[in-house]
Chains A and B, each alone.
Chain A
Amino acid sequence: MGLTGSAMGKAMVMQAMIFRAEPAESLRIQALDDFTLIFHRRSGLTHLVTAPAPEILAILQEAPLNRDELLARLGERYDLEDASPAALDARLAELIAVGLVEVQ
């Protein structure tokens, strides 16, 4: 990826990307309370996540999307209180870093 340069440049790069989630059969998801456990079969790693990570994964598992499509889809399903692209980029970057989402 080599994401360097300004935050503006980074946001533009994120905008052009298509994101794909690990397939449902690779994940064991257990909602506990405010937190949800995700066991990732492929890596053997466990992640403790909060909203909106499970919601993002569920939508991307239906079909790969770019960031704006994803934001729109989240807005259709949920009452989004802060529909900020920058915040969504930050959530996607976290999911990419742990390998639950991949850039296509």
Chain B
Amino acid sequence: MRIGPVGFRVGSDWRAPIAELERLYADYPVPEGGIPDFNVRLFAARPWRRLLRPAVVLGGDFVLPEAAPLPLAQGLLAAEMAMNLQMALGQRRYLLLHASAVERDGRALLMTGLSGAGKSTLAALLAARGWRLMGDEFALVDPASGLIHAFPRLVSLKNEAIEVVRAAVPGGRFGPLIAGTPKGDIRHLVPQTQSIARMAEPAQPALILFPRFGFEPAQRALRASEVFVRLTQASTNYVALGERGFEAMVRLVREVPARAIDYPNADAALAQVEALWGES
């Protein structure tokens, strides 16, 4: 399957995770020329663990030695994690930012922050209000043009966010509820049609937000140096890209305004985002 500009091939010792992927990624194209950028393999830690308490080890071109296996019931999550891992460790074409991205009028809004800051949730809610979802996990910066490329994989919703987004996206296509993961309950949402149909369209970055959930509404402008450090920490391949990465990052922090925003609930956040977007 192809997500944005990146092709994947997923293999598994079991049929179930593949069947779920096939259903949820049905509308996605195949890798360019049939040659994927990355391979993902879900395999059993020991041959007998295929059947007996089946546990899925995340494999692929790039692996972390300390990733723990997941139960087979969480096979879809394992596949998503392994795909993310290939991007985090192996992506060299684009500067990779651990951020969600949405687009309107050809301009992109990037949101990055600590886990639980709500970047996936906010991106899904903005998409429900007409924005184009470009991705809820990674934003890809093209070092040559400075444009943001989409990586609209399945939106990963956690715990309370699942109900919030289900209410906001009545006709949404969801994956199965995966309970009891290391991050609590997880449910995947298939991005809206326009998000998949237009995934090859890049956008000009226009605003970078660092949201924080659970605080009274507040916002502050960030200095370029602080944005630079925060974004290099949010990038897994900044150093590996060398001078191309430096140029792309400098251009981003110089040209794109950045704000930290605190918000107590989704409605307040959406109001703040729309207001800041109007100014930018």
Q: Do A and B share a direct contact in the complex (Cβ within 8 angstroms)?
A: yes
A residues at B contact (CB < 8 Å): 28, 30, 32-35, 37, 39, 41, 44-46, 48
Is there an interface contact between A37 and B243, defined as CB atoms closer than 8 Å? no
Residue from the list A33, A35, A46 in contact with B246, Cβ < 8 A: A46
Residue of A nearest to B246 (CB): A39
Chain B residues with CB below 8 A from A33, complex form: 223-225
> What are some 23 contacts across the A-B interface (CB < 8 A)?
A28-B243, A28-B246, A30-B250, A32-B224, A32-B253, A32-B254, A33-B224, A33-B225, A34-B223, A34-B225, A35-B225, A37-B228, A37-B246, A39-B246, A44-B239, A44-B242, A45-B239, A46-B232, A46-B238, A46-B239, A46-B246, A48-B228, A48-B229
Number of interface residues of B (CB under 8 A): 14
Bound complex: CA of A35 vs CA of B242, how far in Å? 20
Cα(A24)–Cα(B232), bound, Å:
24
In the complex, which residues of chain A have a beta carbon less than 8 angstroms from the beta carbon of B238? 46
User: Which residues of chain B come closer than 8 Å to A39, judged between CB atoms?
Assistant: 243, 246
Does the CB pair A44–B250 fall under 8 Å? no
Shortest Cβ gap from A30 to chain B (Å):
5
Please measure, in the bound complex, the distance between the C-alpha atom of A48 and the C-alpha atom of B250, giving whole angstroms: 12
B243:A32 contact, CB within 8 angstroms:
no
Q: How far is the CA of A37 from the CA of B228 in the complex (A)?
A: 9
Task: Give Cα A34–Cα B225 distance, bound, in whole angstroms.
Answer: 8
A63 to B156, CA, bound (A): 56
State the CA gap A37–B231 with chains docked (Å): 14
A18, B82: Cα distance in complex, Å? 51
In the complex, which residues of chain B have a beta carbon less than 8 angstroms from the beta carbon of A45?
A: 239
List CB contacts (< 8 Å) of B128-158 with chain A.
none
A44 touching B243 in the complex, CB below 8 Å, given contacts A30-B250, A32-B223? yes
* Least CB distance, B228 to chain A, in whole angstroms: 7
Nearest-Cβ distance from residue B74 to partner chain A, whole angstroms: 38
A48 to B243 alpha-carbon distance, docked (Å): 15
Chain B hits for A35, CB < 8 A: 225
* Residue in A32, A33, A45 with the greatest tally of chain B CB atoms within 10 Å: A32
* Closest beta carbon of chain B to A92's beta carbon, Å: 23
Report B187 CB to chain A, min CB distance, Å. Answer: 39
Chain B residue with minimal CB distance to A50? Answer: B225
Complex interface: chain A residues within 8 A of B250 (CB)? 30, 37
Collect the chain B residues with CB atoms within 8 Å of residue A28's CB.
243, 246
How many Å from the CB of B210 to the closest CB on chain A? 17
Docked complex: B226-249 residues within 8 A CB-CB of A: 228-229, 232, 238-239, 242-243, 246
